[in-house]
Amino acid sequence: MSAASESVRPEPSAEDRFEYVLRLADTSLIAGQRLAELLGHGPALEEDLALGNLSLDLIGQARLLLALAGRIEGRGRDEDALAFLRDAPDFRNVTLAEQPNGDFGATIVRQCLLDAWQLESYQCLTGSSDRELADIAHKAVKECRYHWRFSAGWLARLGDGTEESHARVRTALESLWRFTDELLTPDALDARMAVCGIGPAPALIRERWETRVATALAQAKLERPAHQHYPWHGKRGVHTEYLGHLLAEMQCVPRAYPGATW
């Protein structure tokens, strides 16, 4: 995204841009939906309010991004058409985002790994050559900074809390770690968007994510799990079974009453 390469940048195709924005949009949407499930069921009243705020930020990001995706696509689909009338294989969220909440430890681990990725991604995207995307990133990066502060804080409390809490987050970390492969492994689209100056250089995200997560794990007295290969990537539409259930619930009303306004 350096200014020097401006003159030689290739123009991205609309399909690529649409697909790329959907990755960000769907990741925020699905993560926001997951957190929304917890409202009223958190470990303390104060945490209910906190989780609600995270969810509101994420769904807010998703709405802006979905609207942008709809404009790029140019077929008249608005945020709701994209959120409620697509099937699981058309969703482009990273697989980590759709993982169930599990216990509070699993929720925190998922959020921590995801928050770090969103934070670094949006940080880079504030310099995107796509002005609209850069504007959204400017807003989102502030939110993600707080999300990270929240989830990393809790990771430390749970990792360095009691024996039980340590064991619980360690288990969650072991089981969710495989999904981080997708966050850090660029595919052809990531590479093309980086060349266009729209998306960040994948190597940069990996490096910053690694540093950030390593610090948080150290503070939480947790060991970084060994690398786990996991090539089925939600960002290419290959999801875990959880997404179908999440969508069945989320989409049921608009799909039961086609064409209705709400």
What's the closest the beta carbon of residue 87 comes to other proteins, in angstroms? 17
Type of residue numbered 211: T
CB 16 within 8 A of CB 189: yes
- In this chain, which of 47, 73, 132, 135 binds other proteins, going by CB under 8 A? 47
Interface with other proteins in residues 66-85 (CB under 8 A) = 66, 79-80, 83-84
Q: Of 73, 74, 5, 62, which Cα lies nearest the Cα of 31? A: 62
* DSSP state letter for 97: G
**262 binds other proteins, rule: CB under 8 A:** yes
CA 1 – CA 217 distance, rounded (Å)? 30
9 SS3 class = coil
Q: Which two tokens stand for residue 141?
A: 């990066």
**43 binds other proteins, rule: CB under 8 A:** yes
CA 182 – CA 232 distance, rounded (Å)? 8
258 phi and psi angles, rounded to 5 deg:
-55, 135
Stretch in the footprint of other proteins (CB under 8 A) among 89-97, 125-133, 134-142, 147-155: 147-155
Residue number, 12 or 32, with CB nearest to other proteins? 32
CA 182 – CA 25 distance, rounded (Å)? 16
What's the closest the beta carbon of residue 143 comes to other proteins, in angstroms? 12
Burial 55-75 (b: 16+ CB within 10 A, else e): bebbbbbbbbbbbbbbebbee
- In this chain, which of 17, 63, 110, 239 binds other proteins, going by CB under 8 A? 63
- In this chain, which of 85, 203, 238, 253 binds other proteins, going by CB under 8 A? 253
124 SS3 class = helix
Stretch in the footprint of other proteins (CB under 8 A) among 6-14, 92-100, 158-166, 179-187: 158-166
CA 55 – CA 70 distance, rounded (Å)? 22
Q: Per-residue string for binding with other proteins, 89-108, x by CB under 8 A? A: --------------xxx---
* Total residues binding other proteins (CB under 8 A): 54
What's the closest the beta carbon of residue 10 comes to other proteins, in angstroms? 33
For helices 14-36 and 241-256, the axis angle rounded to 10 degrees is 90
- In this chain, which of 150, 177, 179, 209 binds other proteins, going by CB under 8 A? 150
**239 binds other proteins, rule: CB under 8 A:** no
CA 231 – CA 101 distance, rounded (Å)? 22
**250 binds other proteins, rule: CB under 8 A:** yes
**31 binds other proteins, rule: CB under 8 A:** no
Point out which residues bind other proteins (CB under 8 A): 29, 33, 36-37, 39-50, 52-53, 55-56, 59-60, 62-63, 66, 79-80, 83-84, 103-105, 149-150, 153, 156-158, 160-162, 164-165, 168, 249-250, 252-254, 257, 259-262
